[in-house]
Structure 1
Amino acid sequence: MSPSLRFPFSSTLTIAHRGAHGDGHPENSLEAVERAVELSVPGVEFDVCNLRDGEMVVSHDVRVRVGERTVSLPATSSDSLRDGLPPRLEPFLELVAGSDVFLNLDWKGVAHESRIGRLLGRYRLEERTIVSSLDHRALSRLKQDFPQVATGLSVGPLPAATRDPEHLPEEVLSRARHSRTDAVMLNKRLASEEIVETARRRKTGVFFWTARDEKEYESLLDYSPDGIATDSLGRGPEHIPQLHGEE
């Protein structure tokens, strides 16, 4: 079965990075995601990690401060965290499911990828979700069990030794091919016409992260990627573009 999403999208998708945070709405909070929905932002991104018992929580960091301790979430059970538990994932999925926004779920966890696939199915979000991660092995495991879920390989700034402009597009796209991902989620420093064109030829989606302000957003928009994760929500389409791409 092929992924529900098709690339390229009909226009660039504006994605609220960690929700519409600021003004009393913390990053990766349910309030920030609610605010993004209220603002009619076409897409929203938040980070997800697992606990030892498989519970899914919304957290950018796998190590968090709980009282006087710093704990590793994948090594800690939900019972032991009690009041220090990051927010559970399910209310976020329920909120997104009740809207029409696109979801970029950025996976920070260790194993338990199959639970992500099951939760997306439970909330019927497969057709408008892409699961991204820096860990190509995690994405491969998810793809093996849930081939209908679209995945995106996150690529940060590459070491200087590999940053050959002529070969960079092929290097990045080969990483995506080996991990069977449907898109690449590129650090903004990797943005170029060549990398977008190469991805288009391979029917691979292209997303950029993270525009810190409107000026950065506008500069990344010139490349016409499928989506841009941004902390600035002053610019972007009011409606979600066609997510199923060209036939």
Structure 2
Amino acid sequence: MLDPRFLTIPITHRGLHAPGVPENSLAAARAAIEAGYGIECDIQPGPDGEPLVFHDYQLHRLTGAQGFIAATDAATLAGLRLLGTDEPVPTLRQFLDLIAGRVPLLIEIKDQDGACGPNVGTLPARVAEALAGYDGPVAVMSFNPHMIAAFREAAPHVPVGLTTCAFGEDDWARVPPARRDELAAIADYDAVGASFISHDKDDLDNPRVDALRAAGAGILSWTIRSLAEEQAARRIAQNVTFEGYRAAY
């Protein structure tokens, strides 16, 4: 089950990042720890399949380099820095070593199939391998339920959830319409053994969200960017993933 701290300690979106402190960096993790907040991070695979803490599929926005992160060789990747700082692209193991159980860590594994389908590759197993023996509050989620099913098979002791939203066509054009409807209805929740969702703040009036909370599911909300948005989200959600301000705590 989900550690109760995930429902009581606000969670920084990609760490407590700010100008000069890049998202998903070790510096952003340190800042979150110092402030006493939880940390949400994103996982993409490196060229050898090693889990890296990085949001985008392409390198350009965060490093200025061209190409896809999964297709970049290790030597090139080691030389890249985030958003003009001295911060490197961290591995998940480096992130875990830094956090060391001091604050809750919410890990989102990015979809590798392109359509939230079953082609998840080795990434869920590699994340499970990295988490083996980790002593601290941790949970894993993904927009792709297949990713979570594969991860849970590899690490049945780690709480899992689904990252969820309305799955509109504009943002999810590669997902077949019928599958978008299933995802928007959070139809896979029970099948993957989820204990929580992290739901888009703009879709919290989805009746399925209310029904899940009534049934005992943990309800988080993303991405909150002001105190007013936080107050609105907390009418339904128990906790928030936030950025750009200091959440109530």
Most deviating of 31-40 and 69-78? 69-78
**Is the counterpart of residue 234 in structure 1 residue 229 in structure 2?**
no
Contact 1:48 1:59 in 2 (8 A): yes
**Is the counterpart of residue 103 in structure 1 residue 111 in structure 2?**
no
Contact 1:48 1:60 in 2 (8 A): yes
- Mapping of 1:57-206 within 5 angstroms? 57-65=52-60, 70-84=66-80, 86-99=89-102, 101-108=103-110, 110=112, 111=121, 112-125=123-136, 128-159=137-168, 172-192=185-205, 194-206=207-219
Contact 1:173 1:199 in 2 (8 A): no
Query: Whose strand fraction is larger, Structure 1's or Structure 2's?
Result: 1
- Unaligned runs of 5+ residues in structure 1 are 161-167, 238-247
Query: More relative contact order in 1 or in 2 (CA 8 Å, sep 6+)?
Result: 1
Alignment RMSD: 2.9
- Unaligned runs of 5+ residues in structure 2 are 81-87, 113-120, 170-180
Partner of 1:245: none
Partner of 1:165: none
- Residues 81-137 of structure 1 deviation map (CA, whole Å, 9 limit, x = unaligned): 3412622222211122151x1111111264321121121223224xx1111111111
Partner of 1:44: 39
* Count of matched residue pairs: 221
Contact 1:170 1:198 in 2 (8 A): no
- Secondary structure at the aligned position of 1:113 is classed as helix
Per the alignment, do residues 55 and 169 of structure 1 end up closer, same or farther by CA in structure 2, a change over 3 Å counting?
closer
- Residues 36-55 of structure 1 deviation map (CA, whole Å, 9 limit, x = unaligned): 111112x1111111113122
- Residues 201-247 of structure 1 deviation map (CA, whole Å, 9 limit, x = unaligned): 43322111000111111111122x2321001443322xxxxxxxxxx
Report the alpha carbon displacement of residue 155 of structure 1 after superposing the two structures with TM: 1.5
Amino acid at match of 2:231: E
Contact 2:24 2:55 in 1 (8 A): yes
TM-score by length of 1: 0.78
- Secondary structure at the aligned position of 1:13 is classed as coil
Return the alpha-carbon distance in structure 1 between the equivalents of residues 77 and 223 of structure 2. 31
Q: 2:25 aligns with which of 24, 29, 32?
A: 29
TM-score by length of 2: 0.77
Contact 2:162 2:198 in 1 (8 A): yes
- Mapping of 1:204-223 within 5 angstroms? 204-223=217-236
